[in-house]
Amino acid sequence: MTHTPTTDVLIAGAGPVGLSAAAELRRHGVSCRLVDRLPARLPYAKAVGIQPRTLEIWDRMGLARTVMESAVPLRGQLIYVNGAERARIELMLPPEVPYRFAALPQYETERILEEHLAGLGTVIERGTELLSFTQDGDGSAGGVTSLLRTASGGEEELRTRYLIGCDGAHSTVRKGLGLSYEGGAFAEEYMLADVVSDWDLPDGYGLRSMHQGADGSTDDALVCIPLPGRGRYRMSMLVPPELSAQPPGGPGSGSAGGPGAGDGVRHGLEGGRVPELSHIQAVVDRLAPAPATVSGMRWSSVFRISHRIVDRYGDGRVFVAGDAAHIHPPTGAQGMNTGIQDACNLAWKLALVLRETAGPALLTSYDAERRPVGEEVVGRTVRHATEGIENEPDDPRTVLLREAQLLVGYPAGPLAGPPFGPADAPQPGERAPDCGGLTLPIAAYPSRLLDVLRGRAGHVVLLYGADGAALAEAAERARAAGPAPAEGGAGEDDLRTVAVLAREAAPDAGAGLPAPVPGYRDAAGEFARLYGCDGPTGFLVRPDGYLGARFPLSATAAALSGYLASLSAPAGSAPA
């Protein structure tokens, strides 16, 4: 058995969630190893929808442009019932939202994340499986000992400070922690296929076509999501009788032939039963809004859907994220995107604890913030799968913002500071909105707030006002509020990145500012409008793009010191 030097974090599972966790940890200067039992990336378009909120997070990481160059836009969905168009959903968001809905096959998402991670010096250890783990100790002496089976067939014992399970619905990490995984399963079996159709649907529109009986129940369905490539779609539909059977593992088994078979979780792709093009064509013949021929099938599979969520997102030094924590219907493309946000929420907190900028109690906020989100997503996707998103009682704008995951927030979470300013303005725990119209004296073009935040690994303090001298003083107080960067860390302190956003009427925003604090001018007044600035105001933006604090400019030092204290001991939590 081989013993290796300690690394900070071991991540089990190199899907989009595990890759995002690794990329975010590396961005914060944390060492990690990423293992996956599969010898190569799977060529399946399982998760295809990319939500606008995910693109905002990837923008902060420097990934959004690469993703957009590979993806296709999702402009809407056509809904047919018994051959007649019943509804047309337009995926229109407010103009201040920087990104729209997009579609990208999961294998392409994984490729982009994998190449980005390699550029940060970390590669996936393929064919390496986590067999078991134990955790022990407190403080710097504590850690996790994991037993790995390597690609060569040998075993390796690895000592790390933390372990993250991004290893899917049949998670070894979840089982090792003994977490409950309550929920249920849909009785129906489905087919997935990646094909080309020659119909004349408008570009960028998905299709949901159903047949309903006299009692209003749906007995046949076809769902199509556009993919990159002319006429290419990922189609899903009910399994025909000739393919319907229990998987080889028996009733209640997991993916046929895969890990977790027999664990009672019926979720994901199965082996053994592969639909042919004729099976797909038969459904298209019945349900397509116009005659169409399918061809060019890249892959197909049978899959099942469950809805489950763990009772907690971690225990001690071990955590779960993505499908290891929550599974649900693919309605609205919520699963992968929710998992990616799990990973980013946890990664920046682990980085602060590992650098001893925050106390271990900060890690309890991961469950406090993310599990309520998982519970809401599971409930909503189950409801949409059975009743349809078009039957949501909320107004269409709210429905789309929620589907885009732009309404996710933690205003009642343990890290949210006290509110300040207008009640309808963004408050601590809520998403920090993007805005445009920010100018610098040297640039001949305006910037967006995302441009200001991009590439900055730590927290960012934003100061808004009209008095240049007061802004400079507040910037000095902000820079003095946080601890100095840890030796060997990411090189950027977590509370010292400060940008000043001055009103148009203010003198040169950069005058008198402590170097190298950038001074932007809110030339279009968009920041003041979207952030509800009714006077000199400061904001602290967390690494995951949520507001950590909002405060009067005169209270900059006290507000930031209070926030820093909350990182060491989140309210209502105990040290891990």
Query: What phi and psi values does residue 359 have, to the nearest 5 degrees?
Result: -85, 160
- Which helix (H) or strand (E) element contains residue 31? none
| Residue 394 per-residue DSSP state | S
- DSSP β-bridge partners for residue 497: 460
The secondary structure of the chain in percent helix, strand, coil, rounded to multiples of 5, reads: 30, 25, 45
272: left (phi over 0), alpha (psi -120 to 50) or beta: left
DSSP 122-170: --EEET-EEEEEEEE-SGGG-EEEEEEE-TTS-EEEEEEEEEEE---TT
b (16+ CB within 10 A) / e for 515-528: eebbbbbbeeebbb
CA pseudo-torsion sign 457, 458, 462, 468: negative
CA separation for the pair 360, 357 (Å, rounded):
10
What is the model's pLDDT at position 491? 36
Predicted local confidence at residue 492, as pLDDT: 42
**Number of Cβ atoms within 10 Å of the Cβ of 291:** 9
Write a three-state SS string for 510-551: CCCCCCCCCEEEECCCHHHHHHCCCCCEEEEECCCCEEEEEE
Per residue of the chain (576 residues), what is the pLDDT tens digit? Answer: 555 557 999 999 999 999 999 999 999 999 999 999 999 998 877 889 999 999 999 999 999 999 999 999 999 999 999 999 998 999 999 999 999 999 999 999 999 999 999 999 999 999 999 999 999 977 667 899 999 999 999 999 999 999 999 999 899 999 999 999 988 887 788 899 999 999 999 999 999 999 988 887 888 999 999 999 999 999 999 988 888 765 444 333 344 334 444 556 555 555 667 889 999 999 999 999 999 999 999 989 888 888 999 999 999 999 999 999 999 888 778 889 999 999 999 999 999 999 888 899 999 999 999 999 999 999 888 887 777 776 777 888 998 999 999 999 999 999 998 999 999 999 999 999 999 999 998 899 999 999 999 988 889 999 999 888 889 899 988 888 865 444 433 334 455 567 787 765 554 555 677 777 888 999 989 999 999 999 999 999 999 999 999 999 999 999 999 998 888 877 554 433
Cβ contact 466:544 at 8 Å? no
pLDDT at 137: 76
Alpha-carbon gap, residue 395 to 264, rounded angstroms = 38
Q: pTM here? A: 0.91
Query: What whole-number distance in Å separates Cα of residue 116 and Cα of residue 431?
Result: 25
The amino acid present at 214, given as its one-letter code, is A
| Concatenated DSSP letters of 315-379 | ETTEEE-GGGTEE---TTS-HHHHHHHHHHHHHHHHHHHHTTSS-GGGGHHHHHHHHHHHHHHHH
Q: Is 188 helix (H, G, I), strand (E, B) or coil?
A: coil
Q: What pLDDT shows up at residue 262?
A: 54
- Going by C-alpha positions, the residue among 388, 384, 386 that lies closest to residue 376 is 384
- Pairwise CA distance, residues 144 & 125, whole Å: 19
pLDDT (0 to 100) of residue 265: 58
Q: What is the pLDDT of residue 6?
A: 77
**DSSP state letter for 508:** -
* C-alpha 13 chain-centroid distance: 15
**Which tokens sit at 82?**
């018994």
Q: Which of 36, 148, 20, 55 is nearest to 406 (CA)?
A: 55
3-state secondary structure of 171: coil
Beta bridge partners of 156: 2, 148
pLDDT at 47: 86
Nearest 5°: the CA angle 390, 336, 297 is 85
For 440-469, letters b (16+ CB in 10 Å) and e give beeeeebbbbbbbbeebbbbbbbbbbeebe
CA angle 333, 335, 339 (to 5 degrees): 135
How far, CA to CA in Å, does 105 sit from each of 70, 109, 237, 394, 558? 10, 6, 18, 30, 47
